[in-house]
Amino acid sequence: MDDDFSRQGQMIEENRREYGYYYDRLRFPTAAEALAAEAERAELLGWLEGHALVGCNATKIDCRNLSPGCRVCAEGSWSCLFVNGRCNCSCFYCPTPQDQAGVPVTNSIAFPNPVDYADYLNVFGFSGASISGGEPLLTPERTLEFLAEIRKRCGDRLHLWLYTNGTLLTRDLCRQLRAAGLDEIRFDIGATRYNLKKLSLAVGVIPTVTVEIPAVPEDFPLLRDKLREMADAGVNHLNLHQLRLTPHNFRHLVTRDYTFIHGEKVTVLESELTALRLVRCAIEQGGAVPVNYCSFPYKRRFQHGAVRRRAALLVREGYEHVTECGYLRSMTATGASDVIQSLAEDLRRLHASSELWKLSAAGDGLRFAPVLWPVVRHAGVAYAVSYHEAAIAGSGDVSRASRTLRLGSGRTVLVARRPVVSSLAVTPAVVDALCNGTYSGLPSEILPCETIPAGPAKYF
């Protein structure tokens, strides 16, 4: 409980730093309001657990009929290319300015050449990719060029989808998108006040038509009534998100009657409740349009974890373990040189692969893989655990990179690692838990590096 309060205090301070002077203009719930809202959410979740499929550690609802792109995302095998940074709409909830055309970018790596991006998808083994913006249809030639090159070089194994507000869509452009390899198109109909006219142009042309919008609390009655209209119009899936506050959309959201929630990022309380109510409404209406609530905790925990895991697997040493949330964990046994050398001799005698352990230069430390724990456990030895985060970058000091990957054109992509927890002393009981994949009793310093928390975020 003390750890929970400590972490909440840390998040409050981080939120305060992000917004500075303007933080005091935000209305956060009182303790009584937070309890009442959590009780309402618990009632909704209780009903949904009996009628829907709750997935991804209870952060994604309803998972019974996800769009193909959402399935790829949940599997952690998705790359999103922001093909431009400019939009022709002014949605009050948009998190960024969207006023610079820029160059295509993913994961902070610029890809002006579609050949390089397609090679990147192949090198890293993605099974899905999306084209986003800005508004991708403001640069239709660029968007079509990237789609066609991806399809050409990655084949049908890759699911391709595109995000759009739909305002610039034509039937002819739909056909071009499909010919270039597009499998799924996702409309933010919030940009057009939920008008479905443009969306209808894609029905029957693009195989999967999805609506993806934030759950705007004041629009709940309208969205509830739109569920049937979406089904009749040919919409295959409806994805709902939680409104998130950013320095850009602050001036719009703060003028609305919203209650804000602390967390890794500030979100809107009423938005989550609205999304859950809409999922329930869709089920009660017969589920003509499958509705999926993609919560902020899901995005933060699973999408970020997938990015870390992908990079970690490229630089992992044989004695390291990639945790559930994508960090590289290494365990070390230290002690008198003769004791450590004796353990190393035991490993050699048992023909343990040299990739699974490493002796320090001084001979007084031994890094070991979890499978070797029964051999390495010794009364006269101390144990420590370390965690690293791996990240992919498009440029930087090559000499500092843990691995350099070369794309087909000769361009390089770097994978580097940085320490997150350095040599934390732990007991044999903790090593037992880590090696057995259990998390009870783990120190608070390492628990966030090991496991993805379950359930929704706390309201405070």
CB 323 within 8 A of CB 313: no
d(CA 60, CA 129): 20
CB 209 within 8 A of CB 69: no
**Which pLDDT value is given to residue 453?**
92
**Which pLDDT value is given to residue 387?**
98
Instruction: Calculate the CA 98 to chain-centre distance.
Output: 21
d(CA 86, CA 139): 9
d(CA 456, CA 261): 12
Query: Which residues fall within 8 angstroms of residue 442, CB to CB, at 6 or more apart?
Result: 430, 433, 434, 450
Domain 28-307: assigned CATH number = 3.20.20.70
The secondary structure of the chain, three-state, reads: CHHHHHHHHHHHHHHHHHHHHHHHHCCCCCHHHHHHHHHHHHHHHHHHHHHCCEECCCCEECCCCCCHHHHHHHCCCEEEEECCEECCCCCCCCCCCCEECCCCEECCEECCCHHHHHHHHHHCCCCEEEEECCCHHHCHHHHHHHHHHHHHHHHHHCEEEEEECCCCCCHHHHHHHHHCCCCEEEECHHHHCCCCCCHHHCECCECEEEEEEECCHHHHHHHHHHHHHHHHHCCCEEEEECCECCCCCHHHHCCCCCCEECCCCCEEHHHHHHHHHHHHHHHHCCCCCCEEEECHHHHHHHHHHHHHHHHHHHHCCCCCEECCCCCEEEEEEECCHHHHHHHHHHHHHCCCCHHHEEECCCCCEEEECHHHHHHHCCCCCEEEEEEEEEEEECCCCHHHCCEEEECCCCCEEEEEEEEEEEEEEECHHHHHHHHHCCCCCCCCCCHHHHCCCCCCCCCC
CB 104 within 8 A of CB 82: yes
d(CA 243, CA 94): 9
Print pLDDT tens along the chain (460 aa). 567 788 899 999 999 999 999 999 999 999 999 999 999 999 999 999 999 999 999 999 999 999 999 999 999 999 999 999 999 999 999 999 998 888 999 988 999 999 999 999 999 999 999 999 999 999 999 999 999 999 999 999 999 999 999 999 999 999 999 999 999 999 999 999 999 999 999 999 999 999 999 999 999 999 999 999 999 999 999 999 999 999 999 999 999 999 999 999 999 999 999 999 999 999 999 978 999 999 999 999 999 999 999 999 999 999 999 999 999 999 999 999 999 999 999 999 999 999 999 999 999 999 999 999 999 999 989 999 999 999 998 877 777 778 999 998 888 999 999 999 999 999 999 999 999 998 888 999 999 999 999 999 999 9
**Which pLDDT value is given to residue 2?**
67
Residue showing tokens 């035991």: 346
Per-domain residue ranges of the chain: 28-307, 317-450
d(CA 444, CA 428): 16
Q: 77: which 2 tokens?
A: 């095998």
**Which pLDDT value is given to residue 400?**
72
**Which pLDDT value is given to residue 1?**
59
Q: 91: which 2 tokens?
A: 């949605």
d(CA 258, CA 268): 6
User: What is the model's pTM?
Assistant: 0.93
Query: Which residues fall within 8 angstroms of residue 312, CB to CB, at 6 or more apart?
Result: 322, 326, 327, 328, 388, 389, 390
Strands 159-164 and 184-187: parallel
**Which pLDDT value is given to residue 63?**
97
**Which pLDDT value is given to residue 315?**
95
